[in-house]
Amino acid sequence: MPWALFYPADYSVGAAALGFQYIFERLRLAGVAAERFFASPLPYRSADADTMLERFSVITATVAYEGGIPVFLEWLDSAGIPLLPEERAAGSFPVVGAGGALSYINPLSLSGVCDFIILGDGMEALDYAVECLRSCSSAPRRRLWEKLAGHDEILVPPVDIKDGKLTRNLKTGRSLDLNGDYPLHSVWMTERSAFGKTLLIELQRGCARSCRYCTLPRCFGKMRFRGFDIIENALSDICGRFEVPQVGLVTPEAGDYPFLPRLTESIDRKGIAVSFASLRLDRLDEKMIETLAGGGRRSITVAPETGSERLRFSCGKNFTNELITEKLSLARSHGIDRVKLYFMIGLPGETDEDISAITALCRSVICETGQSLTLSVNPFIPKPGTAWENEFFAGKHAVRQKYEKIKKEIRTIAKKTPQLRLTGVKEAQEEFSLAWCGFEESRKLARDPHGGAADADAAGREMLKEELGRIA
């Protein structure tokens, strides 16, 4: 069964997406002729065999976040594939499906376009979808839809949504046993990945912390760890067969993984460099810093989120500015002289003083450590399923004003002025609209993929929350 597996970003980004690699591997093991497609450099030719998209009868996308939706739609549209399921059915066009991290949060944002959406972890549901697609390959499309709708972790919009409302209760897969017979690492490594040639290993899913803006605690299920022995065995096996220059440990917060010291020691002994997908400052210890520096790393990325302690604590990140400076000084003493800091603006309860606190924190880090700083500043986007889902997006005008203030203030740091990377205001507004996109809005996008999503108003958000409440 020819199956086009699309990642709605450049090859380098898709090659660094572990979930996408899992699906590719799973389909191949199931005997499916899956080939990978990326938004660039060659959008309509597979990265595997240069096969043209028109040869594929099934197309699915792995959508990690809202920004992937318009990319997916425009890609399908430019390939001449109708975006509405009934139009594809009428013309014998490919079946279109989706899955990925966005399906844990708001699968309805893709519901106007897809024939099916796999919800959550998705491994068994994917096997079921493969069976349905095989057995219904020459059946009418409605027969396929009805069969797919026999699984409660697969949303089939043409069957499950009537008059804009879900007609059955569904489930999001959130309990995959990470120690079961499932993939746990990259299935390909390439220099062309955003992380370079790195073996990605997933240590943990879910997060037991409760940062109020984050989708992890409520949407991705309870915290699950992969056992040390399973990882160690897989690692030894791969290292015996391939050259592995670097291992990337994929986890919401590396410091929460209980076997981290044993694992980093073992990787160290094999002479392999280590990188962490995410480092929470309060869990960053000397051993982790030594591990990074020992592998030749001279830079580190951390997320204080705000310069103001009051605001940081209100987000659910309970660490002080003093602790940030202390940890970065420790990193500096191990030769790490470049730091990327993630900040959010437009947070609930934020004042002008809180914005100024960003520059004050940077100034004190530079004074204490002499490190070169790069700031990534992103507007807060309230997402469904978070503790702050009822909060508001600050809006384009306010975000621009806050950016101007930061730009002006950061220039007052005369020596080692930090570099600023500001998320586009238009992109942030679009992300907010797409985050709250329900079935009707998704249909509108399918009819006009270049038109953009409508602004999310309070009534629309309430309706969406009600519908999402039917997906446990």
Looking at beta carbons only, is 105 or 154 nearer to ligand SF4? 105
Looking at beta carbons only, is 115 or 391 nearer to ligand SF4? 391
User: In whole angstroms, how close is the CB of 224 to ligand SF4 at the nearest point?
Assistant: 14
Looking at beta carbons only, is 6 or 257 nearer to ligand SF4? 257
User: In whole angstroms, how close is the CB of 262 to ligand SF4 at the nearest point?
Assistant: 22
Q: How far apart are CA 253 and CA 172, in angstroms?
A: 22
Looking at beta carbons only, is 170 or 178 nearer to ligand SF4? 178
Cβ-proximal residues to 147 (8 Å cutoff; 6+ apart), any chain: 132, 135, 136
User: In whole angstroms, how close is the CB of 315 to ligand SF4 at the nearest point?
Assistant: 8
User: In whole angstroms, how close is the CB of 201 to ligand SF4 at the nearest point?
Assistant: 17
Looking at beta carbons only, is 232 or 285 nearer to ligand SF4? 285
User: In whole angstroms, how close is the CB of 420 to ligand SF4 at the nearest point?
Assistant: 22
**CB count in 10 Å sphere of residue 247:** 27
Question: Which spans of this chain sit near ligand SF4 (rule: CB under 6 A)?
Answer: 207, 209, 211, 214, 216-217, 252-253, 280
User: In whole angstroms, how close is the CB of 309 to ligand SF4 at the nearest point?
Assistant: 16
User: Helix H segments across 213-305?
Assistant: 216-219, 228-241, 260-269, 286-294
Query: Tell me, what amino acid is at 19?
Result: G
Cα torsion 400, 406, 409, 410: sign: negative
Longest Cα–Cα distance of the chain, Å, equals 69
For residues 172-181, one letter each, b for 16 or more C-beta atoms within 10 angstroms of the residue's C-beta and e for the rest, the string is bbbebebeee
Looking at beta carbons only, is 27 or 211 nearer to ligand SF4? 211
- The DSSP call for residue 453 is P
**Cis geometry, peptide bond prior to residue 449 (ω within 30 degrees of 0):** no
Looking at beta carbons only, is 170 or 211 nearer to ligand SF4? 211
Beta strand ranges found along 203-272 (DSSP E): 204-205, 224-225, 246-250
Partners of 248 in beta bridges: 200, 275
User: In whole angstroms, how close is the CB of 431 to ligand SF4 at the nearest point?
Assistant: 17
Q: How far apart are CA 104 and CA 116, in angstroms?
A: 14
Is residue 10 classed as helix, strand or coil in its secondary structure?
A: strand
Beta strand ranges found along 91-242 (DSSP E): 95-99, 116-118, 154-155, 161-162, 165-166, 198-202, 204-205, 224-225
Looking at beta carbons only, is 73 or 207 nearer to ligand SF4? 207
- Nearest to 144, CA basis, from 168, 102, 114, 106: 114
User: In whole angstroms, how close is the CB of 203 to ligand SF4 at the nearest point?
Assistant: 13
